[in-house]
A and B are shown apart, each in its own frame.
Chain A
Amino acid sequence: GIRQCYTDIVKAEKTEDWNSALKATNRLLKKFTKEGKIAFKCKLIALIQLGLWEDALLLIKKTPAAEMGAAHFEKAYIHYRTNENEESLEELSKCHPDDVRALELKAQLLYRLDRFQEAYDVYKHLMKNHSDEQDEERKANIVAVEAQLA
């Protein structure tokens, strides 16, 4: 049933068995069409985790926004991974200005594009307004940016 599908998806996330997660989301979408919104989002995450960039972009393109919710960050991340930097920045501009995920990715993109001062400014803003278990790695990224500014 539905609950078993979700249990399988969560279990698959814990073990990083994203092929199983994808199969469970496909079961959901086929058998329980009312689960659409959340099931589409789960499928998108599984496709990204599997590095199936084209499939992930196609899913976003084919799925009306009302059926998946906003996927601007996820779309920007796919473009980032496929080195489509301008497309990624364009998609990030559609995210909320305080969206931590979007800011983190924007800083990475700006660094990649050698826009070091802008990257530094984004990181400064992030460090001031946000803290999580990745603070140490974030500091290392900032040091890398600073090295380019010096």
Chain B
Amino acid sequence: KPMFFDLAASYIQLPDLRERM
């Protein structure tokens, strides 16, 4: 079976913190 991109990984993200900085 060919290799596969793990695109779901890109959705492991911090919440939006801009207003807290």
Interfacial residues, chain A to chain B (CB-CB below 8 A): 2-3, 6-7, 9-10, 13, 21, 38, 41-42, 45, 48-49, 73-74, 77, 80, 100-101, 104-105, 108, 111-112, 134, 137-138, 140-141, 144, 147-148
CA distance A49 to B12 in the complex (A): 8
Query: Main secondary structure on chain B at its contact with chain A?
Result: loop
21 A-B interface contacts by CB (under 8 A)? A3-B20, A9-B14, A10-B17, A38-B20, A41-B14, A42-B15, A45-B13, A73-B11, A80-B8, A100-B11, A101-B8, A104-B8, A105-B8, A108-B7, A108-B8, A111-B4, A134-B10, A137-B5, A144-B1, A147-B2, A148-B1
Q: Could you count the A-B residue pairs with CB atoms below 8 Å apart for me: how many are there?
A: 67
